Structure 1
Amino acid sequence: MTRHIAHASFCSRRRAALAMLAAAALPVGTARASNGFPNKPVKIIVPSVPGGLMDVSARLIGPKLSDHWKVPVVVENKPGGGMAIGTLQAAKSPADGYTLLLAHEGAIVINPVIVANTPYSVKDFVPLAQVWDTSLILLINKDVPAANLKELDGYIRQNPDKLNYAVADMIGELMSDMVKQAMGWKYTNIMYKGNPERVRSVMAGETQMTLASASDAFTALDTGRVRAMGISSMTRSPRLPNIPTLDEAGMTGFNLMSWGGLFVPAGTPPDVAAKLSADARRALAEPDVVERIEAGGSQVGARITAEQFQQRIAADVARWRRLAESRGMQTYDK
């Protein structure tokens, strides 16, 4: 059985708990949106190419919402511009609840705070639900002569600027910079249009290294064309217990998690946003959705309220701003 499918015994132990989670995720007295909302098709914009964690999550949630609302829910991929194209389209959409955005912190936090002339602000969005929280795995191409982080460190030091590191957006570049700073490595970043292409480039040997979300990494590892050097959280993954954390492997203190969330444009009526939030959290708590997302190594955010998610976003804005400014970078969206 491949790594990305949860073990049967694991699933059976969790089903009862997941059913309870589905009920617990719903707030008491959910606000009732006016005019029988929604009464026409709803669109979820994903600012990346098909196949990545954002896209997969949207296509898991969409049918659940459609079944509940009895209206079509369409997932629309709008990649490009480091996720700015699709994110801007969502920001400029009517604030009526019929256009949602599923994006991660790269689009919502990193771009407006760190990228000059980003055409939207963190304040342009209202968070509905945290969809996932995931660790990252440092992958290298199988032909790189290193079986672990110590050997990789020795190889890069002996061959400075020989390896290429795949990135897909500004957050990927910042993460790459964090790796460089932590290890004192020298290599070149290569930009790709989306995360699936970025991971495939390492599999194909076009680039040799990247930090990938756990779900993307598990799929790549199953091909045998990449190796895992370590995981970015401070605890090992239950799916890959033999892979050390980067901290214990030698990248001391390295601790990095990534989230994805569902948003609407600012100005959306509060009762509409409240209904969308409650219904999204209900969809996220469905056992098959939880099992699918968690089988990829992520944690589902069904229990996290919109208010708690907003607090995390604010904390991340401050964190990434400090990180950028500590490296002499100009920051924006203040």
Structure 2
Amino acid sequence: MSNDDINARRREQVKLNMLTVAAVAGWYIDTYLDKRPCRDSALSGAAYVNELLIGHLERFRQVCRMERPIFMKLCNVIRSKNLLCDTRDITLEEQLIMFLFTIGHNAVNRQVQERFQHSGETISRHFNGVLQAILSLSTQYIRDPSINVPIEIANDTRFYPFFKDCIGAIDGTHIPVFVESHKQAPYRNRHGLLSQNVMAACTFDLKFIHIQAGWEGSASDAIVLRAAEKDGFKVPRGKYYLVDAGYGNTPNYIAPYRGVRYHLREFARGSIGPQDAKELFNLRHSSLRNAIERVFGVIKNRFPILKNTSSHSFDTVTDVIIACCTLHNFIHSHSNGEDWIYEEYDLQYENQFSQ
């Protein structure tokens, strides 16, 4: 190859490099610096938030996935603990509503930009700020259960005194994740999908008491439970949790009889009732342990981001899971037992049985 050919190739490579740098610079300016394209709507983010705060309660509920009085209590808690504050351009209320809009509608950054008329950098920064604030509340709202007999057991002759030492239920759920191609193998679950296997424990009044997030989708439920124990999850002496057949049957974790009808669908209307003591035990075990399945269903209905988290990094997904569980407990603690999201989920659940 002649020197002229070599020099020509070098010039082409330099030109290609310059074009690449220009393209990257243009993307960066468009995404993070140039806020004008995102701010040409007559309805600014502040105006939209003001409409929500003084407008119809149902509209607020559907946008923010919680009742407005509970939202205001959440703002007060965050302010009182100095976890967030108003900035020059964005109030705490707007920051929080942007976050709730994202997780409550599985909105990507571009959609939030359009709705609230802020740049992508602003949206991302405040999303992460609110996420860290909610995580700071997790230890306050995700707490160990009482060792007293749960009211849901004490007041029901189907369960008392047979389950009087039971304090909650445990199960795992899979949350979709995005993982780089060369790291994907451990995250493929038994359905071949990329996911995290998340273990959760809940009480029978439908509050989370422990979340173990961040495990690969291929990890078994039993492995994640052992990791939770190493991280400090403990079962009080003389008490136990209900688990499904995927866990070992031990004094701390009571599983159903194997090879015997178990799931509520198998005992649904029109089916033959329990035929022996083992089937009766499994029916009542399933009826109680249904609390954890119900909680999973409700939180995914409230925060659809948990159904498709592909636009976020793996670590962010782990934090979002814990934040959603914290918000669930906060809402449940202030709803006085009245939460429309449970009604929606229960209606869907009943319809499954009727099909």
Q: TM-score, normalised by structure 1?
A: 0.23
Q: Which has the higher contact order (CA 8 A, sep 6+)?
A: 1
The structure richer in strand per residue is 1
Q: Which is greater in Rg?
A: 2
Q: TM-score, normalised by structure 2?
A: 0.22
